[in-house]
């Protein structure tokens, strides 16, 4: 009988199917990154056209992650039963409808409903896309995940400037949402045509419920991913505020520091897409977590502004491979039901993304911004501890 915490080596897959999955996933993540940033980039226009307050605008946008989390919880079981081939295109259809409907919305209610629908579609797409990569990646699954996920960052970096400049050039913001909705739908057609018949529960596995997926290794990985997302997104959300308040930078220079942070993360994923197969996934996870923790601690303790900017960029570099590596380890922990494991892990990520910003705000209100930022150093250190609880992987 094998140990309960043992992680298996990845099975090999068809090179042609792997390339097809990698191409579709890369385009998908770039598009999702773009769509996630468009509402924020155009928020001043949305507030003006919908005649809503900032609180109402924030609530409207918050309906997207609510829909996302609900979809992520449900999608693992659906993909496990029907496969990526049928479920992923459904997610694109719902997401496209939601994004296009936002472009036609006349007020807060309809716009909020459209954001919720997009969140539902986004959640289905996220689980389906990661499941396809994990199922087709074989021994190179970590490389594939790093490569595909770096395009999410590319979409996030390029879209705000493009969206705002298009409006300045005379394009209606509504047209941008309608066009993006059409692109999402077209990509869904591409997924349907690719016919990636993966993700369904292994025929040799028992036909139990989701409880079978909640093994100790999977729960540890879900907790780790929740902390990671909370820390990564938290630093990204508060870094400009920290640099302006603590280091006295103007907003433009602080924005440059934030860009360097995301550049470190994106560049790290590009590098790991080529070399991550050379490392054991557990060892890579421990090393990245330790590197990010040290860099974040230095960034908050160092006095030099330039050095702090470099350390935050190095923090992003350390974070770069954590999400893909955790996803790969999750697939190894539950190889007979990858879709359901993926759903559990991304659910943990969604919860972390909700909890950590609230904790950060609470600590900062009581003890100051630097104390609040130390929460992220503590979270990064907790990732090291959780990584050490993962049993070493078997290697092919």
Greatest alpha-carbon pair distance for the chain in Å reads 67
- Residue 179 has phi, psi (to 5 degrees) of -65, -45
Q: Please count the other Cβ atoms lying within 10 Å of the Cβ belonging to residue 95.
A: 30
Nearest-angstrom CA–CA distance, 55 and 59: 6
* Average pLDDT of the segment spanning 135-140: 77
Tokens describing residue 35: 């769509």
Q: Which residues pair with 7 in a beta bridge?
A: 393
CB-CB neighbours of 88 under 10 Å: 28
Mean pLDDT of 282-310: 95
Mean of all residue pLDDT scores within the chain: 85
Give me the helix-helix angle, 305-319 and 281-301, nearest 10°: 160
- Between CA 278 and CA 281 the distance in angstroms is 9
Determine phi and psi for 167, rounding to 5 degrees: -65, -45
Model confidence pLDDT, tens digit, residues 297-311: 999 999 999 999 999
Q: List, in sequence order, every residue forming a beta bridge with 393; answer none if it has no partner.
A: 7
The C-alpha atoms of residue 152 and residue 31 are separated, in whole angstroms, by: 7
Task: Please identify, in words, the CATH class of the domain defined by 15-194.
Answer: mainly alpha
* SS3 call for 6: coil
More confident residue, 263 or 357: 263
The length of the chain in residues reads 396
Chain mean position to CA 252: 26
User: What number of other Cβ atoms are within 10 A of residue 77's Cβ?
Assistant: 17
| Tokens 């059409």 belong to residue | 182
Domain 210-388: assigned CATH number: 1.20.1250.20
Range(s) of the chain covered by CATH 1.20.1250.20: 15-194, 210-388
Q: Does residue 13 register a pLDDT over 70?
A: no
């Amino acid at each position: 009988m094998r140990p309960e915490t043992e992680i298996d080596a990845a099975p090999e897959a068809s090179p042609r199917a792997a390339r097809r999955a990698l191409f579709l996933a890369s385009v998908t993540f770039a598009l999702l990154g773009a769509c996630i940033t468009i509402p924020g980039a155009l928020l001043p226009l949305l507030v003006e056209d919908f005649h809503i307050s900032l609180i109402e605008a924030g609530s409207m946008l918050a309906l997207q992650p609510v829909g996302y989390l609900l979809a992520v919880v449900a999608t693992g079981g659906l993909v496990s039963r029907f496969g990526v081939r049928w479920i992923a295109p459904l997610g694109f259809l719902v997401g496209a409808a939601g994004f296009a409907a936002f472009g036609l919305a006349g007020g807060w209610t309809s716009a909020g409903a459209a954001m919720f629908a997009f969140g539902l579609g986004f959640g289905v797409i996220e689980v389906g896309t990661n499941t396809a990569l994990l199922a087709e990646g074989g021994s190179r699954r970590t490389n594939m995940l790093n490569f595909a996920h770096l395009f999410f960052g590319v979409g996030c970096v390029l879209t705000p400037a493009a969206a705002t400049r298009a409006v300045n050039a005379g394009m209606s913001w509504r047209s941008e949402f309608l066009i993006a909705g059409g692109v999402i739908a077209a990509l869904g057609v591409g997924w349907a045509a690719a016919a990636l018949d993966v993700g369904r529960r292994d025929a040799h596995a028992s036909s139990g419920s989701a409880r079978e997926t909640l093994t100790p290794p999977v729960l540890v990985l879900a907790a780790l991913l929740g902390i990671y997302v909370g820390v990564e997104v938290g630093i990204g959300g508060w870094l400009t505020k920290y640099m302006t308040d603590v280091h006295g930078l103007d907003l433009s220079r602080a924005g440059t520091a934030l860009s360097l942070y995301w550049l470190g993360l994106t560049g790290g994923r590009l590098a790991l897409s080529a070399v991550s197969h050379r490392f054991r996934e557990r060892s890579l996870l421990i090393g990245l977590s330790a590197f990010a923790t040290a860099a974040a601690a230095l960034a908050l303790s160092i006095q030099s502004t330039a050095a702090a900017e470099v350390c935050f960029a190095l923090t992003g570099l350390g974070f770069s491979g954590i999400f893909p590596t955790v996803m790969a380890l999750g697939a190894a922990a539950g190889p007979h039901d990858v879709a359901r494991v993926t759903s559990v892990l991304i659910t943990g990520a969604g919860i972390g993304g909700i909890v950590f910003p609230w904790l950060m705000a609470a600590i900062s209100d009581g003890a100051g911004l630097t104390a609040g930022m130390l929460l992220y150093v503590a979270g990064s250190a907790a990732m090291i501890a959780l990584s050490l609880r993962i049993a070493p992987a078997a290697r092919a």
